[in-house]
Structure 1
């Protein structure tokens, strides 16, 4: 992947939601019927109709969608280029912290908010009241904010500040309040926000542009916020244990996989027909999965909906031919082995590197003579076993 992908052994899993179907989407102006559908959550879909438009952000978007942090729309699209609002950003940050269930609880939904535009929020986004309440309780708002401004576009500065707070780094940001930023437009960043930008940069949550600007007031798109959320997610503590990591015991068979966990225990999991698979930085078919692949798996309603291959299985092949010669390293161990084999009626010569720990089966190195039949087990182009064939 573009960066180290194996993020956490346990990542927030939001069970009860319909992602591309708009469930709990929080990202569209919805009426009563939409809210009713949110309470009837029966499926999950990570295959957006506008997938080709996601491009560089697909990796971030699918990971976030698979755990219910950032969803698509009811028409099956994600709309990556669409500007995102403050309320969307706040909801996503709360979900990222693993507080979705709390935010949607009756107690939080019944909270009387003291913001001047609380009535507007309750009228237009009644389902978001609990999210704002939880955001306030978790210091995602500053003490001086009197307005939620739910429809106002989220800017780069707003998003960076929000996510630094989501990481619980407010004190660190305050300590950096007098830091010097090298951006040409640093003067556009309010003095009280300088520390938040500094921390966001240091943590790799956000970057400046090649022209040495930060553009604090530039609206953030849904794709851009997905990238910011994903980078933040790397640094959050584990929140539950529903995500599964380990190695595939074998290639998928009968619509199921078996994962060998780090403690060597095994778990058999059924694949959802719409399972989304990431391998080598691209979407891949189920048939691309191989025994030995290290994976991050997420489930929904007891079926696997997302598999991310975090490390490819070693490429293991077997070659048969006739021994030619060996070379030794400074420690006297086999460094390379030369052999020949017939290819389409002609004899081809090969030289391969040998692992320092390679074993010899059926004899010793002294018994390897020119013309001897051998079989080589090769992992990632390095010989790990030499077998003398009688």
Structure 2
């Protein structure tokens, strides 16, 4: 039976600890290694390591292998990170330990290491030499600690942390040293050497133990906190302010390519874009850099962080059909080949995910999707937008939820319309429960409430699709569209409770026994400054009592409030005002929406994932006399940000536009916070790559005639090795069709040219060559292209760069030649890439050491071709080894692979 380390094992560990009694405060030599003194103190205070009886720590002393295992066990034990092990395996190790000289005081930790694959039996040979304990090397310590941590954190096959003496590190050690370096546990010396063979000292070990403890300890306040500020600088880097649990406020710069970002258990690397203000994080850092971030909040992995949420209705191969939770619509998505799958918070493989879906067809499959949209070309229908699923988070449940606007509610059913317009009707289960907001109610009260105006409903259904819970509210349950809470009349406020009314119904909220000052934030409205003041409870109570009665008019006045709840349904914010317009005046009714734009027609903006319509203003980026700007519109992809450019991008069939907007209570777009393209296609009008960053641009014209002048990175990638961005800037590419890809800042980062559309210098042709003597001619093309006097020839099929040899091959009826050629402005051939697709003739020689074969064709030409290292011989009775001897002088066919190498011989 497997269980946690037994009491017996713990007793063994305690029976013979390393000799040490001195406490950190009395270490006489604490400053022997000044850079390690704070870690030594912390490790000692945490009872991870101790000093010697004479009051010293001896930081420069080496740590033995047996001592290392005890220290590692201590760290894992004190952070509740021990793995489950089979204690029945203990007895089998004692004879081994006796023969190897493992002392009693170290046996328990070594047993643990062997049982959990932190140690291998082969490792024990390093522990002692003729009965003398050996000093552990830095590399071996990293391997042991790395094996202990790899169940929690990603181990990369290809190390990303490189040391100057990387060549000294073994293949086994490289991945573990990389892991611990990424986690900030290990580091190199001042010369960026790791020194893998050097013994590890007690001072170094104290640092390693202390950092490992801080990484694993869930209660440690020095490396955990809450993000209080997060600034995205065009996706290039992020500025984070973190309020640490120990009271410190720390500021960091996090970069996607340098700062490692993980989910809570470190099982998956995620993007910095998944973070938001208020997220709980654990960090690994030095004074100057942020090395790794771990997202602690479970909600960070839940569907609420995803672009689209809903229920999976079908999953077949790469097709996923989802019933959108917000709109009720059912839509098909293509699952990308590199899609990442999560099942109840755990990263799983595609096959595991598919099996879970198939095996739970009788349950509800609630999923969050991360999606990306791009335009793809189809032969029959032309350009179409394809939405690809990049990540899926699945939760399997026995219940189903849906919501929308009530259309009819009867004694046994409810009908409603989802945000997307889909009509739904559900019957009540016999035990159905009814609620008005948070208050339990009856079907009679719900029917009466539904008649008072626009009312929203949220239902919970069981596996029989019968409703077990109905909740009605004046507020939409769709958090993506929800603008504000209900505005109540505040009728009473004390330290214990508050009383509010709305729609003729009175509700009393009890704060409970805890002090509301500790759990609730109060805000009062400042009419003069049109802003909310964060106040203490006493001030909020004074404000209410002052405003609810007009002493001059000697009459009662109305005081309004809104109540906001946390994820657990508890009140966490209360806003109080004497003006019902306060929430509109303070922009609290502002909606923020982001996503791929569907259209902008007659001033009405629509997103692809929502049916809500937003009205654009007539002008944006209006500059005031004091230099401030109102109604900003920021298009990071475009040289010029204007409503005209935004409209062109929104309506063009050849581009994909992403936008983040703010809209007021009337759905008017008051600000386009950010807009950028994620895909575009068109013909080149102009390309200027050599200007400064803000002026570097490419202008394309889309199929609807829209011209877009777009920012470009300094050296954009191209879709081929045959041309560079500098080639594209030449006049020969003007008028050519290109597809553009963009980075996170919305700048063009890749330009792929449709080479068939290139007209001038740099134009490329390709096909099977049919003649060459009087110029190059390709199959299916009547044009004859003249050869330049010095043609550059490259080929994987043969080693010759002579034009006359290439002409012989093309003219020879026994050789099939495929050509990719680059032309000059006068359509002369200046460069060719040659791939042989087939050849036959008399075998003259096969050299398996040089990987070549030589044949003579019927035309009398002799050609030598390159052969794969392990070709196949499909000639009956002839082996590859005897090919040259048995088949020399006979007819043979050569079969070539796609790269132009001979891959098989046939008769």
Q: With structure 2 as the length reference, what TM-score do the two structures score?
A: 0.21
Greater RCO (CA < 8 Å, at least 6 residues apart): 1
Structure having the higher strand fraction is 2
Larger Rg, first or second structure (1 or 2): 2
Structure having the higher helix fraction is 1
Q: With structure 1 as the length reference, what TM-score do the two structures score?
A: 0.45
